[in-house]
Amino acid sequence: MNELYQRRLQRHLRQMLKYLRLVFNDHFVIALMFFVGGLGLAYSNWLKTVGPRDTWILFVIGAFLWLGLRIGRIATLIEPADPVFLLPRERDFQEYLGHAWRYSWWLAQLVQVALVVLTMPLLVLVDHFSGLDLVMVVLTQVLLKDFQLTVSMIRLYDTTAATRQLFKSSWSAPWSSWMTWVVSLLGVGLTLFAGPWEGLSGSLVLAIGFRFWFRWLQPRITVAWRADVKLEANRMLGIYRFFNLFTDVPMVQGTVKRRRYLDWVYRWLPADQRHAFGYLFSRGMARGTEFSNLVARLTVIGAVLLYFSGHGWLAMALDVLFIYLIGFQLLPFYKRYDNIVFTHIYPVALKRRLANFQRLLTVVLSVTAIIFLIAFWASNASLVEVGILTLINAFEIYLLVALYAKVRLA
């Protein structure tokens, strides 16, 4: 069983690595570096303005730590076929779940420690925490997560029979999900508003108590197969959805959405033989999620970054970079219909097809540029600066569309 979990874990990690490579493609890494850098800069700038009087920040930290406890679930890696094939090995499977617990525990605690580290400067500034206090906050967070994971572990089993025996009643769910959250909130609140000692001792009691509760339960409970399969499927879906925000996960293929609300836009487009492919390209671009989501994603990230990176040369460089990224990544769209025979046999010159695509590219990039300019202007840039960036954008789009796209695609 140990071997089974290790084998599955390896396969799982390989798969995650594959997706991570897709998420962190070279373009995105550049964007992310700017993003993290910009965020870090903003955070450190903001820290300078924070003083001990800003007690409201404690509530924000509390919410942050409390919600942060959500991160990290038990990766059981159970497969839908397991209830069929492993059912006879119930006891062995509990050992399997033990391995799953150990792996998930370390991963989850790593994240929790990182979260607390992020809040440390604020704790020192607002609440005058000492070094020892900070260590205790970390321990508290780890213990709270331990408690939550123990609860999750118990929930992988069917406890009905055991609790019925103990409490001599049909009360079958002695511990529900929301109670876990309320208790966790109490733990976080205790640390921040009563003191680190109080928080630590409270969460220690909680974590140890539940560890013992689980140890008492373990010989008396059975694996809840169906529920576990469902839980694992949900967990994986969540991961895929997350990846799909950044890249197109092969598992979650691009789909087509009708997007009726965009129909009015097409009415402005010319409709004649010279623009036949414009007809196709414009609808294909807007309705296929593959490229439209890419543009939307990069536009939003770019605009947010632009807004937070002031209005100096950094913002302008970001603007140029993001327009290049979007334009560059849209180029393959031109070939999207190459495997459809009609694309080749329509009596429309290749030159017209390319021209139609260039036109679409111009429109998409211009809309993006306008959104970027608004973000730039909103970050307090002067009209002169906005004007300069407008000229730069126009020049860049011209270079991208009229020269680069032509060389690459013709």
Partner 1 sequence: MVLTISHLVGGYSQIPVLKDISFDVQPGELVGLIGLNGAGKSTTINHIIGLLTPMKGTITLNDVTLAQDPQAYKAQIAYIPETPVLYEELTLKEHLEMTILAYGLDHAAAWERATELLKTFRLANKLDWFPANFSKGMKQKVMIVCAFMTNAKLFIIDEPFLGLDPLAVHDLLHLIATVKKRGAAVLMSTHVLDTAEKACDRFVLLHSGEVKTQGTFTEIKANYPDAGDSLNDIYLSLTGVTRDE
CB of 275 to partner 1, least distance (A): 7
Residue 260: half-sphere exposure toward Cβ, Cα within 13 Å? 0
Nearer CB in complex with partner 1: 101/333: 333
Long-range pairs, 300-307, Cβ under 8 A, ≥24 = 301/31, 301/35, 302/31, 302/326, 302/368, 302/372, 302/375, 303/371, 303/372, 303/374, 303/375, 304/375, 305/31, 305/34, 305/35, 305/38, 306/372, 306/375, 306/376, 306/379, 307/375, 307/376, 307/378, 307/379
Q: Which of 192, 280, 375, 389 binds partner 1 (CB under 8 A)?
A: 280
Q: Which of 340, 370, 394, 402 binds partner 1 (CB under 8 A)?
A: 340
Between CA 191 and CA 206 the distance in angstroms is 14
Nearer CB in complex with partner 1: 69/286: 286
Q: Assess 271 for contact with partner 1 (CB under 8 A).
A: yes
Q: Assess 252 for contact with partner 1 (CB under 8 A).
A: no
Q: Which of 349, 367, 370, 394 binds partner 1 (CB under 8 A)?
A: 349
Written as one letter, the residue type at 60 is V
Span near partner 1 by CB under 8 A; candidates 20-28, 48-56, 279-287, 309-317: 279-287
Q: Which of 58, 288, 304, 385 binds partner 1 (CB under 8 A)?
A: 288
Site size with partner 1, rule: CB under 8 A: 23
Nearer CB in complex with partner 1: 262/321: 262
Between CA 377 and CA 367 the distance in angstroms is 15
233 three-state secondary structure = helix
Q: Assess 235 for contact with partner 1 (CB under 8 A).
A: no
Q: Assess 293 for contact with partner 1 (CB under 8 A).
A: no
Q: Assess 253 for contact with partner 1 (CB under 8 A).
A: no
Between CA 372 and CA 299 the distance in angstroms is 8
Interacting residues toward partner 1 by CB under 8 A: 256, 258, 271-273, 275-276, 279-280, 283-284, 287-288, 337, 340-342, 344-349
